Structure 1
Amino acid sequence: MSAQHEGKGSCLCGKIRIFSSTVSKSISGCHCQMCRKWGGGPFLVADCGDDVSFENQESITIFGSSQWLERGFCNQCGTHLFCRLKETKQYFIPVGIFEQPKDFVFERQIFIDEKPAYYDFVNETENMTEAEFIAQFPRPTV
């Protein structure tokens, strides 16, 4: 992880508050079909490790979107709150949720092999295919 800071934020309606002691300043953009379907475009996230807590956690709905990943959203306003690796409980949180996102840097694009041709980012980033990205993490136990 690159430089880090603490993060606080909330969903659109304010019902759910998020606290993370570790927020990478490095932003990743995911181009996978699931992320694009979930949010209507690439999913821009910060890696927050596994030390994340929520106020009003009972208002979070969790959807197991794949064998290795689950997604959380506010069941009041629908705000996308996180993607979380099932095996390690590592959180990837949308950067727009954080209250003070002044020093984020867009550094990596993942699932670049699934990016559609109708958009491009001008930033120079590290680009990882689906296989390259998934190879970084432990395989889920069944």
Structure 2
Amino acid sequence: MTKGQCLCGAVTVQVPEACVHDVSVCHCNMCRQWGGGPLLAVECKHDVVLHGEENVTHYRSSEWAERTFCRICGTHLYYLLLETQTYELSAGIFPDDRKRLVSQIYIESKPDFYDFAQQTPMLTEQDILDQFNSNS
């Protein structure tokens, strides 16, 4: 298990080691508004253990997902896909060892003022919706 935490340490998250290596980027308008830039996240579909849950605030940002953050320091913790209980955990809450950028989504929403050096698969909103609908 790998442990991550918010800025003030009031919330800790433990996930399997394998979850924290592949970082995905979301460029959607909501993620950028939420954090001032793209969401850099690691995906974990199971075995997420949260400590300090009394310090976590949940915000239902859409019909299918919620965003959570530490109510004390404001650290973004995760984006949760409710139907599948898939966690997109903020990559910044975990140690930086052995992470790699593997994909970017909502690429058509990415503003021109930043780019990532790594070449990754780049998916549009429609690509994501098509994937979501094919898995339903």
TM-score, L = length of structure 2: 0.91
1:14 Cα deviation after fit: 0.3
1:129 Cα deviation after fit: 0.5
1:136 Cα deviation after fit: 2.7
Aligned to 1:132: 127
How many residues are paired up? 134
Other structure's SS at 1:135 match: helix
In the alignment, structure 1 residue 50 sits paired with structure 2 residue 53: no
**Aligned partners of 1:87 and 1:138 also within 8 Å:** no
Aligned to 1:34: 30
1:101 Cα deviation after fit: 2.3
1:59-107 deviation line (CA, Å, top 9, x unaligned): 1110011111110100111100000001011001111101x32111101
d(CA) in 2 for partners of 1:134, 1:80: 24
Task: Pick the structure with more strand per residue.
Answer: 1
In structure 1, stretches of 5+ residues that fail to align are 1-5
**Aligned partners of 2:25 and 2:40 also within 8 Å:** yes
1:74-85 aligned within 5 A:
74-85=70-81
d(CA) in 2 for partners of 1:30, 1:121: 12
**Aligned partners of 2:44 and 2:89 also within 8 Å:** yes
1:137 Cα deviation after fit: 3.1
1:53 Cα deviation after fit: 1.3
Instruction: Please tell me the residue identity of whatever aligns with 1:74.
Output: C
1:24 Cα deviation after fit: 4.5
**Aligned partners of 1:29 and 1:108 also within 8 Å:** yes
Other structure's SS at 1:67 match: coil
d(CA) in 2 for partners of 1:24, 1:137: 23
**Aligned partners of 1:50 and 1:88 also within 8 Å:** no
Aligned to 2:64: 68
**Aligned partners of 2:20 and 2:91 also within 8 Å:** no
Identity %: 42
1:30-59 deviation line (CA, Å, top 9, x unaligned): 100000001100111111113211111111
Moved over 6 A (4+): none
d(CA) in 2 for partners of 1:46, 1:134: 20
**Aligned partners of 2:26 and 2:40 also within 8 Å:** yes
d(CA) in 1 for partners of 2:21, 2:130: 23
In the alignment, structure 1 residue 59 sits paired with structure 2 residue 55: yes
